[in-house]
Structure 1
């Protein structure tokens, strides 16, 4: 049976001397693995669509087990991301996060379209740190572990947040600050930026200028949350930090 789907290549691994197994994040079927036979050979017709970040319309033959790629029509190669080491590092982190957060054959259409738009904005020069925090929050929302940022996580009232609590699941107001003695102190700019990043649609995101210290604190808070609710070791994030440090 032939099946046709739109998707983005998350990763490719070698299978034998000339084949590759592609892990593709699709709009309809979620994550799936397909065999690209001969794709490592020079001038193979599938060579252009096996790179990570590639968005394409794929056609594969599937009966039982893994499908076999029979046709692919590129939509976007995102070459500008792959040609820039720093952007590649950010993008690779996004793809690994999605790969680790999703199961095969489980559709996540909102996350799929978020990734499509995110890669476009990354190519357009939008602050990659801002985009990455938005991607992290979207993935946490996908797995049902997003922090509560629109009200107090304890009393549920819409009060001014002064703490961020990992154990309580989000912002805490003055009255509830004592609920978690280990909660992070936050400033108004940090609270505002976190709420904005959680709520703003990517396709309407304008040019955001955020002070470096604010971005660093937001990253620290979100990663404390990720480490608690999504405790998966990500090699791509370690590599991203190493490359960021060399560019400072």
Structure 2
């Protein structure tokens, strides 16, 4: 049976000398894989459309086991991501996080739209660090994680100074800091953005300007939480952290000059 999927290429694996196994997140079927025969050849009609991050339509011949990709039509190649190493690092992290937290055939249109919009924002020049933070917060439920961000995880208070507690699985207010001596202090701006990123609709993302110091707070809190609760080792994240450190050094050198 021939099926048409709208999909985003998450990753590819070599299959023989000239073929690829292409893993996609599709709108219709969730995460699916198909063999793209000859796609490793530079002159193949499937070569370009099976590049990571590509959003397109794919005709797949089904059957038991892996289907076979017959045709592909790129809707967006995410060219600007591919031309920028830092954008590529963020996009690679997004698709690997999606891949590792999603089973074959799992998920569908809502997750597909989240991934598509996130990559499109990065491709269009929106701050990739902020887009990625929003994506990470939205993906917590996909990974089965639900931190308490609307009020203090200990006493339920909604007003006061807050920090982030791994032990208590969310925010804790100043009245409860003693419950976790290892809580992560966060500025009011970082607290507000954590809540915003978790609850708001990505469609509403407009121009957003976040201080570098606040970005570092967000990165620390989100990374700590994923490390503690998700149990994922992502190669793309390690590469992204290296790129972020390089960017920090580059910006510092520019400031010193």
Tell me the SS of whatever aligns to 1:47: coil
Q: Deviations over 1:6-41 (max 9, x none)?
A: 110001111111000001011121111110001112
Provide the residue aligned with 2:101 in structure 1: 101
**Alpha-carbon distance between aligned partners in 2 of 1:213 and 1:4, rounded to the nearest angstrom:** 45
Q: Deviations over 1:136-177 (max 9, x none)?
A: 111112122032211112233423342211121111123332
Q: How does 1:146-185 map to 2 (within 5 A)?
A: 146-185=146-185
Tell me the SS of whatever aligns to 1:158: coil
Provide the residue aligned with 1:59 in structure 2: 59
Task: Supply the RMSD in Å over aligned alpha carbons.
Answer: 1.4
Deviation at 1:92, TM superposition (A): 0.4
**Alpha-carbon distance between aligned partners in 2 of 1:196 and 1:140, rounded to the nearest angstrom:** 14
Q: Is the 8 A contact 1:28 1:107 kept in 2?
A: no
Provide the residue aligned with 2:23 in structure 1: 23
Query: Which is further off, 139-148 or 152-161?
Result: 152-161
Provide the residue aligned with 1:198 in structure 2: 198
Provide the residue aligned with 2:115 in structure 1: 115
**Alpha-carbon distance between aligned partners in 2 of 1:237 and 1:215, rounded to the nearest angstrom:** 16
Q: Determine whether 1:8 maps to 2:8.
A: yes
**Alpha-carbon distance between aligned partners in 2 of 1:114 and 1:242, rounded to the nearest angstrom:** 25
Q: Deviations over 1:167-212 (max 9, x none)?
A: 2111112333222222112221111121122223222212111111
Q: Determine whether 1:225 maps to 2:225.
A: yes
Give unmatched runs, 5+ long, in structure 1.
Answer: none
Q: Determine whether 1:33 maps to 2:19.
A: no
**Alpha-carbon distance between aligned partners in 2 of 1:17 and 1:177, rounded to the nearest angstrom:** 58
**Alpha-carbon distance between aligned partners in 2 of 1:160 and 1:30, rounded to the nearest angstrom:** 42
Q: Deviations over 1:105-125 (max 9, x none)?
A: 112432210111111111221
**Alpha-carbon distance between aligned partners in 1 of 2:161 and 2:146, rounded to the nearest angstrom:** 17
Aligned length: 248
Deviation at 1:47, TM superposition (A): 1.0
Q: Deviations over 1:59-84 (max 9, x none)?
A: 11111011000121211111111111
Q: Any runs of at least 4 consecutive aligned residues in structure 1 with deviations exceeding 4 A, and if so which? A: none
Tell me the SS of whatever aligns to 1:48: coil
Q: Is the 8 A contact 1:161 1:191 kept in 2?
A: no
Tell me the SS of whatever aligns to 1:4: strand
Q: Is the 8 A contact 1:152 1:161 kept in 2?
A: no
Give unmatched runs, 5+ long, in structure 2.
Answer: 251-257
Provide the residue aligned with 1:142 in structure 2: 142
Deviation at 1:127, TM superposition (A): 1.0
Q: Is the 8 A contact 1:21 1:34 kept in 2?
A: yes
The two structures have a TM-score, normalised by structure 2, of 0.92
The two structures have a TM-score, normalised by structure 1, of 0.95
